[in-house]
């Protein structure tokens, strides 16, 4: 996921739902570079809602407000994945949450990343992207339940960083034993009432549904980064459960 327009990172998801969308890279297409990037998510500061020169069909520029609260320190800029754009919000509650990219923004981002998207793909890929981000956040909230007494207001997403080429120690060790490697990795940092806390997310291809073989399937391995506190949280969950 991404934070507001001043952040560093890429989208937390590999958005390739079909072969027509993928290039050789497994990196999130929303993490493409720009002359002016938001340091919290490495997205262009100004959302790209203009029609691509090679585009043959009209794409929606409507953006969906996520359920993910954003840290107030990044309250003012527009971005992409999900991104902040106060002009798209419809009420005060929306101003406090991340906003997902539109079909047009997503299409433009994939083009910048030298992928080969089709306009028709966007109606499928964008909802998948949004749904996976929501799942990531729910997993983080499960971990954060252990710290409810420290932060009555709950955590807020501060930033995320795409690290598709950097295997986590856990993923690397699993690979040594012949297990599947993740196709993407992201680090999400939440603001726990003033305290930045980093989470690591490995994205794996899930099992295919025999009745819907073309439907994308993901498995998310979300856990605290391997700091002293993160290691203690992992141990507590292992011993006592969630």
Structural tokens at position 78: 């527009």
Q: How many CB atoms lie within 10 A of CB 164?
A: 18
Angle (CA) 151-155-158 rounded to 5° is 135
Give strand pairing partners of 157: 70, 190
Could you tell me the residue ranges of all domains in the chain? 19-240
pLDDT in tens, 83-132: 433 333 334 344 588 889 899 988 988 888 888 889 999 998 899 889 99
pLDDT, one tens digit per residue, over 22-79 is 333 334 444 434 455 566 556 666 677 888 888 899 999 999 999 999 886 543 333 3
Q: Tell me the two tokens of residue 106.
A: 């997503």
- Residue of 148, 155, 218 whose CA lies nearest to 188: 155
Report the candidate in 42, 117, 23 with the shortest Cα–Cα distance to residue 80: 42
pTM over 0.95: no
DSSP conformational letter for 205: E
Model pLDDT, residue 218 = 81
Question: CA neighbours within 13 Å on the CB side: how many for 171?
Answer: 22
Tens digits of residue pLDDT in 151-197: 988 999 998 888 888 999 999 999 999 999 998 899 999 999 999 99
């Amino acid at each position: 996921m991404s934070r507001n327009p001043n952040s560093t990172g890429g989208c937390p998801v590999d958005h390739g739902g079909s072969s027509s969308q993928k290039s050789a890279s497994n990196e999130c297409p929303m993490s493409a570079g720009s002359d002016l990037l938001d340091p919290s998510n490495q997205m262009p500061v100004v959302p790209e809602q203009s029609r691509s020169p090679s585009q043959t069909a009209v794409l929606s520029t409507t953006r969906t407000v996520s359920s993910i609260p954003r840290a107030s320190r990044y309250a003012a800029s527009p971005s992409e994945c999900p991104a902040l754009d106060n002009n798209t919000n419809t009420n005060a509650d929306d101003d406090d949450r991340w906003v997902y990219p539109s079909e047009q923004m997503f299409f433009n981002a994939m083009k910048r990343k030298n992928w080969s998207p089709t306009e028709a793909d966007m109606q499928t890929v964008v909802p998948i992207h949004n749904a996976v981000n929501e799942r990531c956040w729910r997993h983080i909230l499960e971990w954060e339940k252990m710290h409810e007494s420290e932060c009555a207001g709950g955590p807020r997403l501060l930033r995320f960083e795409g690290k598709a080429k950097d295997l986590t120690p856990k993923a690397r060790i699993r690979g040594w034993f012949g297990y599947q490697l993740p196709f993407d990795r992201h680090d999400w940092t939440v603001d726990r009432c003033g305290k930045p806390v980093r989470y690591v997310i490995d994205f794996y291809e899930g099992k295919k549904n025999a009745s819907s073989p073309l439907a994308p399937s993901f498995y998310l391995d979300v856990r605290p980064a391997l700091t002293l506190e993160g290691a203690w949280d992992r141990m507590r969950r292992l011993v006592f459960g969630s």
